[in-house]
Amino acid sequence: MSNRTAFVTGASRGIGRACALALAEAGYRVAVAARNVDKLEEVAAAIREKGGEAYAVPIDMASPDSIKDALGKTAKEFGTVDILVNNAAVTKDGLALRMKREDWDVVLQTNLSGAFFAIQQVLHGMMKSRWGRVINISSVVAEMGNPGQANYVASKAGLIGLTKSLAQEMASRGITVNAIAPGFIETDMTAVLSQEVRDNMLAHVPLKRMGRAEDIAAAVLFLASDGASYITGHVLDVNGGLYM
């Protein structure tokens, strides 16, 4: 078993859940965090069933206090967080012309500010141990834009800028900061799309399939590994060739 601890936000389902399971299988202790505690307990149970160590902790990424609290509890339970996977995100889609102020605010607060406050909470521990991995889950739309998602796209593009700035600040301390930009992935978020929309999306993907949550988890596992120690400030596209 690795003696390293990973903290995954938005871990109750989809990409976050897949990342948590993959990290646990690779031998990391994993703290799983999200708003839905019942679903988190299921993920933690799935990890323990396979002999892994898991800690479920509620978190609301729109609340700096909740983020501080969750990471404080994790530090007590598991010690320093060595790997942070900022995956939690919400969408409140709508055309910019009619977008409500609160729909703008909650998406930016959760997806971008929340990620930043989580990073702030783990940096001291990482600096002390002179080793750390921050992995921010951005999106292909951060790179190519998407109509009707000005708030979500701005939040995910902001994560890329944040990644590059922090990579420069933290490099001398042995901490790498990278982003992953998933394309169209089979999750609850994309399951609600009509067949017509899905077919239209797939027409633009050279690999002609939707991605799986496991495809993103594999990229997270790589960036968390010692094999990725010379990679920082990078945006890894996992999108089937949708954007290149």
Q: Is 82 exposed, middle or buried (0-12, 13-18, 19+ CB in 10 A)?
A: buried
User: Other CB atoms closer than 10 Å to residue 218's CB: what's the count?
Assistant: 15
Q: Is 1 exposed, middle or buried (0-12, 13-18, 19+ CB in 10 A)?
A: exposed
Question: Among 55, 152, 230, 243, which one carries the catalytic annotation?
Answer: 152
Which residues neighbour 150 within 8 Å (Cβ) at sequence distance 6 or greater? Answer: 96, 99, 104
Tell me how far apart the alpha carbons of residues 61 and 190 are, in angstroms, rounded to a whole number.
Answer: 21
Cβ(16)–Cβ(39) below 8 Å: no
Catalytic site residue 152?
yes
Residues forming the active site: 152
